Amino acid sequence: AVNLIKKFEGFSSSPYKCPSSLWTISYGSIFGLDGNRVDGNHRAVTQEEGDTLLRRDLKRTEVAVARLLKQPITLNQFSATVSLVFNIGSGNFQKSQIRMRLNRRDYLGAADIWWQWRRGGGRILAGLVKRREEEKQLFLKDE
């Protein structure tokens, strides 16, 4: 999950607006080191601070995925799902058909609709198409 997130989020020391118009910093963090929402006036972060933000956000995402899934999944399925949820948010994942299918142990059915989460700011983004494909391949990969 870490490698996928770093690859597709990219690192930015300065705040920027993501395609969904949210202020973001580091590897897609919407909350700064102080726990407050990032805005356009947020100070630049160092690579080390960015890594700290990523670890914090990953832990939160992992906890959310573990809480929302009631059925067993493999480590690769968990990593792919964490990458997805890191990007779309736990609220969107909670309402998603992917989560519902995973909780019914319909693992192939969940993988088959992974592509549905390829929009940002209301439009299909090439980067999200690639990300969802790589996440799906990881999800389907045998341990």
- In Å, what is the CA distance from 93 to each residue of 39, 77, 84? 24, 14, 8
The per-residue pLDDT for 120 is: 87
Beta strands in the chain (DSSP E): 12-17, 23-26, 119-120, 123-124
pLDDT means per 10 residues, the chain with 143 residues, are: 92 93 95 95 96 96 98 97 96 98 98 95 93 97 84
For residue 9, indicate whether it is catalytic: yes
What's at 50, amino acid-wise?
Answer: G
Residue listed under structure tokens 């080390």: 48
Beta strands in 22-70 (DSSP E): 23-26
CA–chain centroid gap for 2, Å, is: 10
The per-residue pLDDT for 19 is: 86
For residue 18, indicate whether it is catalytic: yes
Q: Which of 18, 49, 62, 134 is catalytic?
A: 18
Rounded Cα–Cα distance for residues 82 and 69 (Å): 11
Residue 31 has phi, psi (to 5 degrees) of: -120, 135
Q: Is-above-0.75 flag for pTM?
A: yes
The per-residue pLDDT for 86 is: 96
The per-residue pLDDT for 119 is: 93
Residues 25/42, Cβ–Cβ less than 8 Å? yes
